[in-house]
Amino acid sequence: MAHTDGMGAAEETNAGPAGQPEGQAPGLPAEFSLALAAFARHLAAERGLSAHTVRAYLGDVGGLLAHATARGRGDLAGLDIGELRAWLADEHRAGHARATVARRAAAVRAFTAFACRRGWLAADPGSQLGAPKVSKRLPQVLGQTQMLAVLDGHDPGRGPAEAAVSLRDAAIMELLYASGIRVSELCGLDLGDLDRSRRTVRVFGKGSKERVVPVGIPAVKAVDAWLAAGRRPLTSARSGSAMFVGVRGGRIDPRTVRRVVHDRLARAGVPDTGPHGLRHTAATHLLEGGADLRSVQEILGHASLSTTQIYTHVSVERLLAAYRQAHPRA
């Protein structure tokens, strides 16, 4: 299959990327910068990662390549396990947090695996690269009574514009809690993504992966109330098919949604867990209500079950707290 992403014949024939004149990153040898550019295209086009994630990967891998350059390396063959470990040791000595070092090591492993598949490395040194274990912090979640206070704290607004925004914000809060979807996924919703007969919503998650998520009756009613009486006063030529729009008519942006969540949590007088806290809360309440872990994984759109398992710890902690409070011999 021919490639047209700028590496040309070098990528097609698995030859090394050296010798290409364009695309060199400042401060890096040509072979490093061209391999980094090809890796960027791979992350965006083949893995479908967001621009933010691609930038993070490139920053981490670029740090390794700059380190290798400073040590006199100028080609990919010099990226052996010794070079990777020397870079990782420098990261430790620089005082970076364990989570940061672990993330950077993961990005480098992805890069060396990519380079090995392209034939630019005879073997993958990243497969031998260890990283510090990061302790998973238990996410802060709200109790069910706290969530009821948040969702019931609906201010109808005084003028038409305020009333429209109030309906929108109520629908946003209901939908985030009902579905556990990410803020970016909510912002990307279109009018046709809500299936009222099945009470599901279609979302596009990380890597442009589509999934269908169930939602409850209150969320559907809140969205319908917004669409019936709130959306029209805010729409403009920029609205298109967006389910949620901002006060200027364009598709709502993540910053606005985060502000809505913070404001509603503050108004209810509950801990400010933020939008991701609503996702944690939805997952925990599902498990506490009897949902199995695999179903919660599908609802949240986690690629790995291990990512979802952290919520079981949250539920166990609540179970223990209830037991110790209620049992006479606890």
| Positions marked catalytic | 182, 206, 276, 279, 302, 311
What is the distance between the alpha carbons of residues 312 and 319, in angstroms, rounded to a whole number?
10
Place of tokens 């930038």: 55
Residue 249: CB partners within 8 Å, gap ≥ 6?
Answer: 234, 235, 236, 237, 238, 239
CA quadruple 231, 173, 303, 58: dihedral, nearest 10: 70
- The helix-helix angle for 217-225 and 160-179 (nearest 10°) equals 160
**60 — alpha (psi -120 to 50), left (phi > 0) or beta?**
alpha
What is the distance between the alpha carbons of residues 40 and 315, in angstroms, rounded to a whole number?
39
Structure tokens at 22: 């364009």
DSSP 8-class letter at 198:
T
C-alpha 88: how far from chain center: 25
Closest CA to 307 of 48, 35, 285, 299: 299
Written as one string, the DSSP assignment of 229-286 is IIHHHH--TT-TTBSSB-TTSSBP-HHHHHHHHHHHHHHHT----HHHHHHHHHHHHH
